[in-house]
Structure 1
Amino acid sequence: MSGETNERAADLIIVGGGVIGCSAAFYAAKRGLKVIVIDGGSVGGEASGAAAGMLGAQGEMLHGGPLFPLARRSRAMFPALVEELEALSGISVGYVNEGMLKPAFDGETRETLLAGAAFQRNEGERAEWLEPEEVLTMEPRLSRSLLGALYLPSDGQVSAPELTRAYVYAAKALGAAVREYEPALELLMDYGRCRGIRTPRKTYYGNEIVLACGAWASVWLNSQGLDSIESIPIKGECLMLQSAEPLITRTVFSRGCYLVPKRGNRTLIGATSYEGCTDRSLTVNGVQQLLNAACSVVPSVQQASWERGWTGIRPGTEDGLPVIGRHPQAEGLLAAYGHYRNGILLSPVTGELIAELAAGRSEEELGIGAFGFGRNAAGEQVKPKHSKEAAYP
């Protein structure tokens, strides 16, 4: 940094230790940049640690929009990324690539999924409509009342908490520093340029600052007198069950819930969606809603045993698109937030894009205008699906 000799000087200071901030740290450190990650709590302690870990580039997006190609690009990065992260960190991220099933239990959903399959195939993706007997051959514990299912062989899943930890350990192996339980209090500005971050303990100076603090990003920007694209907190509840044998072998994304098979004959069930809610309590209504939906999809859920339940606060935006880009009011300030329930999926591409921006490339060069603070016309094509019902795209 020009003229900076402070021992805490860095090329990149990342505010936020979730999966997005940690991915950015990893990709920046790979480029040889000196990186510091600052988080007010523990790394992965918010939405990243609560996520189901689905890599639903197709399952989450049955129609077009600017997010679809970005999601597919990010999903394609996972096989090589997982190998690299596990080698550097020694952490298994639980990568499973068995595909995703989206079953239909009524005619309207069947038609929606058939249309989605046609769109996906037209975009060059694998998407197969399966009749009931074919579905039950793959997943015999599914309800016999289904009318068929859309099978997306390329969608997979990971363990979200382990992926976040792997990013952190890999980044540290490459020289990054991590400061937990150290909240960012203030941006240090000098004639319109960000110079660093002040915390209760220290002042950190850097060439570029990355704001990656999830659902609280816009609140933090506004507290610094800067405009923002609003980050909307969206509470979600998840459950973990255990059974003597696996209930399912691949992710099942249905109306009212999704079921994700995990290690040790565990099944993750998620997730409710309450826009604007930051209360972290696990509600009886939410648990009942998810269990009823799961039992209607996989009846043998009723014989499983309860392991635990938890909540997380996802970061949404009004137009349903993440924010990835430079802040127009503060030179040297980058932002990466608002990924809603696709933070795990989009973590590789977001981290890589932030590293590219930090290395001097422009949003125009990277083709990410739809995700910047300017929000071009393409960014208006996708609207959010934030409701008080269990999420279903």
Structure 2
Amino acid sequence: MKSYDSIIIGGGVIGSTIAHCLAEQGLHVAILEKNEIASGASHAAAGLLGVQAEWDEYDPLYDMARKSRALFPKVAEKIREKTGIDIGYEAKGIYRIAHTEEEWQRIKEIRTWQIAAGEEAVLLSSEEVRKVEPNVSSEIVGAVYYPTDGHVLAPALTKGQALAAAASSAEIFEYTTVLQIVVKDEKVTGVQTTEGFFPCKQVCITTGAWSTPFLKQFNKNYGTYPVKGEVISLKSNRPLLKAPLFLKRFYIAPKRYGKYVIGATMEPHSFQEQVKASSVADILQRAFSILPALQDATWDRTWAGLRPESNEGRPYMEAHPTIQGLFVSTGHYRNGILLSPFVGEYMANKMVGNYVY
């Protein structure tokens, strides 16, 4: 079996981006994915780049998210040049809307600290919102518009990163389940898989909600768990929105070809990917109350994704303290798509810096 410098376990957006960044730095890389590239949470994600729309209060991830958002124009251009894939990057902003006076006061408070942090945040009354987005309900109290937020097509981004890695000589192995990370004398020597043994000097765990068995080699308390999110897509023959609407973990995102992605529910510790009829009813009810014109849209489809939350409430992005060549980057929860450009560069630089030739 051929030997690799670095093996990435998991072909989601985080793993594919790390692989791309490593391959561009000259390392011989393999991505091992138990299903298909972009078949998990990265396929299900709505692709919102909601740095300001998502963050209610400052934390260290906020700065990382800002830096990552700024990388997307370069990422979109590079993927298009190397693979021909259009990741659907749009920087038309996001509206965080308020349905009640309490929400209105809250988003104004959030706007204050974000402006202090150097971000743009435009306060809009209900009437001002409907001047730019006339289909939004008149019951909306107001909104804050974040002009530098945006969105992408998450599956296209993930597949684009993987194929861009392949264009830089990385190899992709789908339907290859990793059974064990093999360590000898405190050094990674390879991985045992359903397709045989893959020798390597480095391994990075990027297996999302399924990471816990591998993380036990890091720390007995480390682990990830799924937070199921159900999503709906509708189609409209006329444009209803220019930019996504965001309301307390709920969103309506206009996509290409007249599609509107709406969601999502939150169900911790569920690996069940079926969509409940009651969830569909709840999502549609909320969507119609925000954007009544959606009642005339037609059905497209529905699906569920499993967001990877960590036991620590923060992503794991580190090298093993004693095992040479063992790395992890998982548990990015709702923000894997958004954080992926920064995380890819960060982890690749960490791995290259620790590479033993």
Bin the TM-score by the shorter chain.
over 0.9
Instruction: Compute the displacement of 1:320 (Å).
Output: 2.9
Counterpart check, 1:247 vs 2:244: no
- What residue identity is the alignment partner of 1:249? K
- What CA distance in whole angstroms lies between the structure 2 residues aligned with 1:189 and 1:220? 12
In the alignment, structure 1 residue 167 sits paired with structure 2 residue 185: no
C-alpha contact (below 8 Å) 1:22/1:167 kept by paired residues = yes
- Residue 67 (structure 1) aligned to one of 61, 86, 91: 61
2:343 aligned partner: 350
Contact 1:246 1:266 survives alignment (8 Å): no
Give 2:200's match in structure 1, choosing from 189, 203, 206.
Answer: 206
Distance 1:351 1:241, change over 3 A: same
* Counterparts of 1:101 and 1:225, CA distance in 2: 40
Is the CA contact 1:88–1:173 (under 8 Å) kept in the aligned structure 2?
yes
Gaps of 5+ in 2: none
Q: Structure 1 residue aligned with 2:289, among 288, 296, 302?
A: 296
Whole-angstrom distance in 2 between the partners of 1:242 and 1:40: 32
Q: Check whether the contact 2:215–2:222 (CA below 8 A) recurs between aligned residues.
A: no
Matched, 1:321 2:338: no
CA distance in structure 2 between the partners assigned to 1:353 and 1:26 by the alignment: 12
CA distance in structure 2 between the aligned counterparts of 1:98 and 1:219, rounded to whole angstroms: 40
Normalising by structure 1, we get a TM-score of: 0.88
SS of the residue 1:359 aligns to: helix
Q: CA deviation at 1:249?
A: 1.1
Secondary structure of the residue aligned to 1:41 is coil
Contact 1:218/1:228 (8 A) holds in 2:
no
Contact 1:126 1:153 (C-alpha < 8 Å) held by counterparts: yes
1:281 to 274, 278, 284: 274
After the TM superposition, which segments of 4 or more aligned residues of structure 1 sit over 3 Å from their partners? none
Answer whether contact 2:222 2:312 (CA < 8 A) is retained: no
Q: Distance in 2 between matches of 1:161 and 1:335?
A: 22
Aligned: 1:9 with 2:3 = yes
Aligned to 1:312: 305
Q: 1:83 to 1:121 in 2, by over 3 A?
A: same
Instruction: Answer yes or no: is the 8 Å Cα contact 2:325–2:354 preserved in 1.
Output: no
Distance verdict in 2 for CA 1:256–1:35, change over 3 Å: closer
Match of 2:17 among 13, 23, 26: 23
Unaligned runs of 5+ in 1: 1-6, 363-393
Contact 1:126-1:152 at 8 Å conserved across structures: yes
**Counterpart residue number, 2:122:** 128
The answer to whether the Cα contact below 8 Å between 1:254 and 1:297 also exists between their aligned partners in 2 is: no
Residue 72 (structure 2) pairs with residue 78 (structure 1): yes
Query: 2:263 — aligned with what?
Result: 270
3-state SS in 2 of match to 1:25: helix
SS state at 2:178 partner: coil
Distance 1:303 1:20, change over 3 A: same
Contact conserved, 2:211 with 2:330, CA < 8 A, in 1? yes
Are residues 1:93 and 2:87 paired? yes
CA distance in 2, matches of 1:154, 1:226: 38
- What amino acid sits opposite 1:51 in the alignment? A
Contact 1:98–1:250 under 8 Å retained in 2: yes
SS at 1:167 equivalent: helix
2:148 to 123, 142, 154: 154
Say whether 1:218 aligns with 2:227. no
Aligned residues: 355
Q: Which amino acid aligns with 2:340?
A: S
Q: What's the offset of the Cα at 1:330?
A: 2.5
Amino acid at match of 2:106: T
CA gap 1:300/1:32 in 2 versus in 1, 3 angstroms: same
Amino acid across the alignment from 1:208 = Q
| Offset at residue 227 of structure 1 (A) | 2.6
Q: CA RMSD in A?
A: 1.4
SS of equivalent residue, structure 2 residue 102: helix
- Alpha carbons 1:282, 1:311 under 8 Å: kept: yes
